[in-house]
Structure 1
Amino acid sequence: MNDSKSPGAQAQTHDVAIVGGGLAGGLIALALHRARPEFRIRVIEGGKTLGGNHRWSWFESDLSQEGKALLEPIRQAAWDEGYEVEFPVYKRVLKTGYRSMSSTDFHEALSRLLPEETLCLGRTATGIDARGVDLEDGSRIPARTVIDCRTFTPSEHLRGGWQVFLGRQMRLPEAHGLERPVIMDASVDQLAPHGNGGAYRFIYVLPLSSHDVFVEDTYYADDPLLDRSALSSRIDAYAREHGWDDSAIVGHESGVLPVLTGGDFSAYQDEVRIPGVVIAGARGGFTHPLTSYTMPVAVENALAIAADADLPGEQLAAMMEARARRHWRKTGFYRLLGRFLFFAADPDKRVRVFQRFYRLRERLIERFYAGNSTGLDRARVLWGNPPVSIPRAITAMFKRGKPLKKTIQSEKTA
């Protein structure tokens, strides 16, 4: 499925060239093909497969009917009986349906659904402008519209903390007996894995089949250090506690994601802007600041781009930039909650923030994850017996956090 290197193929102008075959780029390609099947689309991805090595999850209530229809052809794990959370002082089952999709299934579906010549895999873009994409072999893909969906890169203009995680898919010799996902098991100890104080820590568990289970160890930490050895050992310990130690590892993922607490978004847009090029995905600022969820906004952006596919590239770029600014303003409440989490709560006491939150009404929690909290929702989250002291909360409101600098080391493999 790699794009031809022949001069004739390279000379043709495509309707859309998408740089980056992750969730955002892949969904935009799919939405465009569904809406405008006559379009000549190219997805340029440096890896050999779309989506990298990831698992994306979301709540059934996150998506519109049109959004669900877009994802329907892609294989998903589905739990219609809700999910569980567990904290030091209580457990709760919530009824909202839950969904999960692997990058393997994402790649397989898009390879099947998109025309064969769409995917340009194993090819790295070395230059992007409003009229095309330059590749490392010296060839060029000209396009009427260019969409930049490359990965997010930390910036000194954005501030906050980090969500660090390591996940493992295991195949068990005997059935695990789990009925539904455990979105947060925060009954575990709250110490950071590398001995640098505390962090909000929880275990995330997905029963993918009767014998397959996905276990992820996640931290809301002040620094972005991913200590693979420590996190792997903690997953081993969690598996032993549940009788899952005699298992085969069939997959894994890891990541370091920003948890945004503030910043100068206009300056950030100036930093990443390429004149006339559309920017989408996390690079465009399209994430949930506190949870780092991307599926709901990625789906809605893909549908929006497909609906306005006839716009000139420069106009589509301006539309998406304005959409990003609206998203930044809309999600200010979640950045405020992030400041409470990181600056008002002691690291090993951050669990109390989520522990209190999950006692609230189920529909409020649904809207929170979808990024659609109402004014009444926001008041309810902040009202009542706070999990942090009032003076520290007031002080935290005026903090913005550390710059998310590009120079920070984010991985430890020893």
Structure 2
Amino acid sequence: MKLLKPLQAAALLCAVSCPAFAADVDYQTISDAAQKTGDLSRQSLVMIFGDVVLSPFQPGQPTLIGSLFAMLNGVLCTVALVWFLVVTLKSLYQGGQEGQVFRSGRTMLHPVMSFAGFITLIPTASGWSLSQLVMLWAASTMGIGGANQLTDKAADMISSGMSLVVPPTAPATRSAARAVFEMNLCKYATNRELAMLYQDGQARTLPMETRGGNGSYLTDNGSARCGSARIPETSEGGLEGSLASPVNTDNVTAAERQALDTLQSTLDAAAGAFVDTYLSRRDQDTGTLADAETLIQTAAATYEHTVNQALNQLNYHAALQSQLTTQLKARGWLSLGAWYHTFATANSKTNAVANASPITTGPGLQG
């Protein structure tokens, strides 16, 4: 039973460590992250504790803290030696007198472990003991390396378009998502009602159907309409004037269309399930209605997250700076005023594209 608990703890530790192994996290990657050139935290440790942080078992230059700890470790070793010789040997002698070399709760490893603990207190050439060198290694390699890996991961996620905070969705996006849900709700409700009306005969009215794709959808049956949703068309992202430079926002527009496709498919399935559950509760008093507002809010947040990722990856400043620098050197100081105008216009065009929420229309039931 005593052996079972350590085995269970080891199994649990391995299970918890699986995500780290899957993320290619091992000692080498942590060590490489800790040994970055110019790492400020590692430089601070070297300034305080000396080169022992980099090479624990090489003496290096003596430091004030190392000299003080060498004296402190000498005192601790003296006290530990007295304790080991007096207390441990006395305990063994008394146990031998009683006929029990090892008392209850102690094994033959007790003096060995005591001696090993004493060894870790002996000062090395740098003045630090083995136990202190282990702590310095843990701080300088595992601590700094782990923190740097977390920082690198966060930086990569930010550069990929993720945000440090989750911003609230814009009212226009929530309104568009609600209109898309109502459009699909109208479609499924109308089709279920038509199926009930013409269950014993041939239908005279065509069912509602959603057509389109790539950021433009229309739900109708040829005459009556449940609604539509589309991404507005944007003008070409260029700047006019003598310092004309393209502002390519095609990736943002493509992200908006992809986000609307996801929004439509998500809310289409949600609306169908909502209608089926409503009819089940009405006719059979079974089923639980989903919170439609939560579904709408979640879909709207997903839409804006996709668009924001494309915006964060949009980087036109480098291209504009290069072109403006070349043209300024070629045309002289007179064209210097166009610098601000160029970037202001570029930001304006980008904001116009980013704020272009889906355009939706409501139902028109004539026919």
Q: Same fold (TM over 0.5)?
A: no
Structure index of larger Rg: 2
TM-score after normalising by structure 2: 0.24
> Looking at both structures, which has the greater relative contact order when contacts are Cα pairs under 8 Å and sequence separation is at least 6?
1
Is the strand fraction higher in 1 or 2?
1
